[in-house]
Amino acid sequence: MALDRWIALAFIAFCCVYGYAAFFTMDQSLPPILQRNPIWPSTFPKILAVLGIVVGLVVLFTPTPPKTDADAKPKDGAIDLTRLGDYHIVQAAALLALMVAYALTLRPLGFLGSTVGFLVIGALILGERKLHILIPVAVIAAGSIWYLVQEVLGIFLRPLPAMFM
């Protein structure tokens, strides 16, 4: 079975678990007055789970076209699994680790500190070296997002660590 079909199968399994949680476990703790609403907190996860299963099944059961001589050479942008070591796997793994670190540092460093750090370190991992441009852009981006979420949407988002507030 091709790699895309294995990924589709794993995606279907994930969506089934997600759908089970959405359909059978999320609404148990709703108060009785909210159980009469037409839209519950689990409505969007239910839709996502069903759509994910449908997309996964489409990928899984779509027939592959027969191989021709034109298919022998790799297309631009196609991943060649025989040359997997030539890709930037270390950068991808570092970015995934940085995403986990970002999630773990949101409370201790606050939104602004962790977001600026994530943007600067992520850009450095990807090869950006102009710090005189990178740092102000990261500060402006993080500050703008914080302002929109906090002031415009009215959702509390701790901008600084707890010791400064």
Domain residues of the chain, as ranges?
3-66, 87-164
Q: What is the rounded average pLDDT of the residues 122-150?
A: 93
Percentage of the chain beyond pLDDT 70 is 88
Supply the pLDDT for residue 165. 57
* Model confidence pLDDT, tens digit, residues 76-116: 667 766 777 777 888 999 999 999 999 999 888 889 999 99
134 pLDDT higher than 90: yes
* Model confidence pLDDT, tens digit, residues 1-51: 677 888 999 999 999 999 998 888 877 777 777 777 777 778 889 999 999
Supply the pLDDT for residue 89. 84
Task: Please state the pTM of the whole predicted model.
Answer: 0.56
73 pLDDT higher than 70: no
Q: Which residue has the higher pLDDT, 48 or 160?
A: 48
Residues 6+ apart with CB under 8 A from 102: 114, 115, 117, 118
